[in-house]
Structure 1
Amino acid sequence: MNLAEKVYRQLKEDIFDFRMLPGDRFSESEVAERMQASRTPVREALYRLERDGYVQVYFRNGWQVRPFDFRYFEELYDVRIVLECEVVRRLCMESDRAERLAGLVTIWCCKPSQRQVDPVDVAFLDEEFHFGLLECGQNKQMEAIHKDVCERLRIVRRLDFYEPGRIQATYEEHSSILDAILSADSSRATRELTRHIELSRNTVRDITVHRIQEARQRYSTDLSRK
């Protein structure tokens, strides 16, 4: 991995882990000092992040983590619903769907005492659940588009698991979706999947600056325990 790639990944992780918040301003020299890198790979990483929609440049005035664009997030959720529901419909018609879904069933259709309770861990598992559904669909192009969409939504989706009751509800919703697919009930599976994603979308509509600051503090505490 070259230095520009390393800086790119670290900065993106800083954004996802709330160490850099939407609206935060910074300079190339600040990043270079923190990363112990020259400004050339830092600039290369920043322009790549700009192309990916994570930061924006102010010529002669440094850089800024892109503020939340709620319409943008709403549109990404629409894409998620279309992709995931189509994959679920196809899975309901596959004779080997139980075999394909076995790994997800083990994680999500478990006893309450076996469930994860840490928001950081559950956020990761939730993302892997949705990636897993697309992987079971066995369409590499749909899988790649879906992964890109989910990555762009990652910061707002992580906020979801600090809401009271959302961890327990996520286990129940995922389990119910899997049960519907295994029963070949396409209508119920897509209905419950859509509702599940819509509940996550509602998190975006309730985001405030205070809530993001609070999430940064709590998320940093949770990460430090690991």
Structure 2
Amino acid sequence: MTLVSVLSPADLPAATLAERAYAQIKQLIFDFHLLPGDRFSEADLTQRVQVSRTPLRQALQRLQREGFLLVFPKSGWQVAPLNFEAFDQLYDLRILLETHAVARLCEAEERPTLRELADTWLVPAEDRLNHPLPVGQMDEEFHAALVRAVGNSEMTRVHADITERIRIIRRLDFIKPARVDLTYDEHARIVRAITRRRTDEAQRLLRAHVEQSKLEVRHITLDMLYQARQRLAAELA
């Protein structure tokens, strides 16, 4: 009989603990448990993520470097407020990458990604998901799949970084039920245009789709953030 030892958090290397704390805190931000503008101390999070001060501080400093947090000496930490100018720039870069990916896909001979996307998005209305959280995750994967299909690892890396940085506001876009249905409709049209190798049409549809999401982001208010927190808490209950 083989005995398997289970390590407690105290037995894990500091680097592993810091990585775990980093992932947990970032998820708290993405799930709106920590809202943009919220202030907190290291003591507030120590029990919440169940790590000691050293790996916790390493995780917080990494999130600060990545732009998710701000630090105020002697007065704690703050979730970075929404920076709409920066988001606009990231959306513009995202449009460049994704329209290029669409053009490449229209020209490609082998396109297995399209079959997978069609199975997800070209479905009858009664088979569509209607919960914002999973549809938001599916939307993110749709756009990532288009870029990955090009086979350019640097494009994929840059696009993944953009995706990470806009995730919080992108998820807010899906607290409106109408946006869920619209996403299915627009994704289906994009997939059909690529399948038919209509490059100009596919790029136009993709650009309009992302631009609309960019406009919706501008309507985000503090009240919407609190509503999102309450809705997510209800979904996870």
Aligned residue for 2:119? 106
1:36 aligned onto 2:50 = yes
2:75 aligned residue (61, 84, 87): 61
1:139 aligned onto 2:122 = no
| Percent of pairs with identical residues | 45
Post-superposition Cα deviations, 1:22-48, rounded to whole Å, max 9, x if no partner, equal: 010011122112222211001000000
Report the Cα distance in structure 2 between the residues aligned to 1:63 and 1:71, rounded to whole angstroms: 22
Q: Runs of 5+ in structure 2 lacking a partner?
A: 1-14
2:133 aligned residue (96, 107, 120): 120
Report the Cα distance in structure 1 between the residues aligned to 2:47 and 2:72, rounded to whole angstroms: 20
Note if contact 2:118-2:191 (Cα within 8 Å) is conserved in structure 1: yes
Aligned residue for 1:11? 25
Report the Cα distance in structure 1 between the residues aligned to 2:33 and 2:16, rounded to whole angstroms: 23
2:199 aligned residue (180, 183, 186): 186
Aligned residue for 1:23? 37
> Secondary structure in 2 aligned to 1:45?
helix
Post-superposition Cα deviations, 1:91-134, rounded to whole Å, max 9, x if no partner, equal: 1111223x231111100011111111111110111111111111
Report the Cα distance in structure 2 between the residues aligned to 1:34 and 1:100, rounded to whole angstroms: 40
Report the Cα distance in structure 2 between the residues aligned to 1:164 and 1:30, rounded to whole angstroms: 34
Q: Runs of 5+ in structure 1 lacking a partner?
A: none
Report the Cα distance in structure 2 between the residues aligned to 1:118 and 1:167, rounded to whole angstroms: 8
Which AA in structure 2 matches 1:23?
G
Report the Cα distance in structure 2 between the residues aligned to 1:186 and 1:177, rounded to whole angstroms: 10
Note if contact 1:156-1:203 (Cα within 8 Å) is conserved in structure 2: no
1:202 aligned residue (215, 219, 226): 215
The Cα shift of 1:161 comes to 1.3
Report the Cα distance in structure 1 between the residues aligned to 2:236 and 2:135, rounded to whole angstroms: 13
> Secondary structure in 1 aligned to 2:213?
helix
Post-superposition Cα deviations, 1:42-83, rounded to whole Å, max 9, x if no partner, equal: 100000000111001001110000000110111110111000
Note if contact 1:24-1:64 (Cα within 8 Å) is conserved in structure 2: yes
Report the Cα distance in structure 1 between the residues aligned to 2:29 and 2:40, rounded to whole angstroms: 13
Report the Cα distance in structure 1 between the residues aligned to 2:130 and 2:236, rounded to whole angstroms: 14
Aligned residue for 2:110? 96
The TM-score normalised by the length of structure 2 is 0.92
- Comparing both chains, which one has the higher relative contact order based on Cα–Cα distances under 8 Å and sequence gaps of 6 or more? 1
Report the Cα distance in structure 2 between the residues aligned to 1:213 and 1:112, rounded to whole angstroms: 30
The Cα shift of 1:167 comes to 0.8
Aligned residue for 1:169? 182
Report the Cα distance in structure 2 between the residues aligned to 1:220 and 1:153, rounded to whole angstroms: 21
